[in-house]
């Protein structure tokens, strides 16, 4: 069991506190993974848009939306 500190008192977590903590850790990891995937997808889209602009090809709407002037 993990320890918890409240008002300078350190004690073991209750079963409910431990379950909540474990669920929060999993949720945070999921949110982090999702955020990283979204950033990578956006970076890929930007790279595709840049390559198409250089080659003189038409952009998709999503690629055009990534261009910031």
Is the Cβ–Cβ distance between 63 and 45 less than 8 Å? Answer: yes
- Distance of alpha carbon 3 from alpha carbon 42, whole angstroms: 40
H-run or E-run covering 67: none
- Distance of alpha carbon 26 from alpha carbon 1, whole angstroms: 17
Q: How many CB atoms lie within 10 A of CB 49?
A: 19
Angle among Cα 30, 36, 38 to the nearest 5 degrees reads 100
The tally of domains found in the chain comes to 1
pTM for the whole thing? 0.70
The pLDDT-based confidence of 67 (bands split at 50, 70, 90) is confident
pLDDT score, position 69: 55
Chain segment 3-59, per-residue pLDDT in tens: 889 899 999 999 999 999 999 999 999 999 999 999 999 999 999 999 999 999 999
* Range of the structural domain that residue 57 is part of: 3-66
């Amino acid at each position: 069991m993990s320890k918890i500190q409240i008002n300078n008192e350190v004690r073991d977590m209750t079963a409910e506190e431990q379950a909540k903590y474990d669920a929060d850790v999993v949720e945070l990891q999921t949110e982090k993974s999702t955020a990283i995937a979204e950033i990578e997808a956006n970076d890929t889209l930007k790279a595709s848009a840049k390559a198409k602009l250089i080659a003189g090809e038409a952009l998709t709407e999503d690629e055009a939306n990534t261009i910031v002037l």
